[in-house]
Amino acid sequence: MVNPHARSSSMVRSVRAWAPVIFVTLGLVATSCGTTSSGPSSSKSSAGFPTSAGPTPSSASAVASYTPWPESGHDPQHSGASPAFGPKSGVIRWTRALGAGITSGPVVEADGTIVIATDAGVLRGLDPMTGADAWTFDGGAAYGGNDLSTSPAILPSGMIVWPGPQNHLFGIDTTGHELWSRPFPAMTLSPVVASPGKVYVVDVNGDLSSVIVGTDGAQVAWTLALGGGAGATFGSPAIAPDGLVITTVGDQVVAVADDGAAGHVQWRYTVGAAIEVSPAIGPDGTIVVGTNDPYQYGLSPDGHLRWRVRRETETYSSTSVTHDGLAYYGDNNGVVYGVRAATGAPIIRYRGLQGVWSIPVIDGGHCVYFGTQGGHIYGFTYQGNELFDIDAHGPIDSYPAITGDGTLVMGTEKGVLYAIHG
Domain range summary for the chain, segments of one domain joined by + = 92-420
Average pLDDT over residues 375-401: 97
Predicted pLDDT at 34:
58
Lowest mean pLDDT among 197-201, 231-235, 387-391: 231-235
Lowest mean pLDDT among 5-19, 20-34, 282-296: 5-19
92-420 placed in CATH 2.102.10.10 = no
pLDDT at 41 exceeding the cut of 60: no
pLDDT at 145 exceeding the cut of 90: no
Mean pLDDT of the chain: 89
pLDDT digits (tens, 9 = 90+) for 345-355: 999 999 998 99
pLDDT at 17 exceeding the cut of 50: no
pLDDT band at 13 (very low <50, low <70, confident <90, very high): very low
Average pLDDT over residues 247-259: 97
Predicted pLDDT at 184:
97
User: Which residues lie across from 329 on neighbouring strands?
Assistant: 337
Predicted pLDDT at 139:
97
* 16 vs 398, residue with greater confidence: 398
pLDDT band at 231 (very low <50, low <70, confident <90, very high): confident
pLDDT at 332 exceeding the cut of 90: yes
Average pLDDT over residues 251-260: 97
Lowest mean pLDDT among 50-59, 187-196, 358-367: 50-59
Average pLDDT over residues 247-270: 97
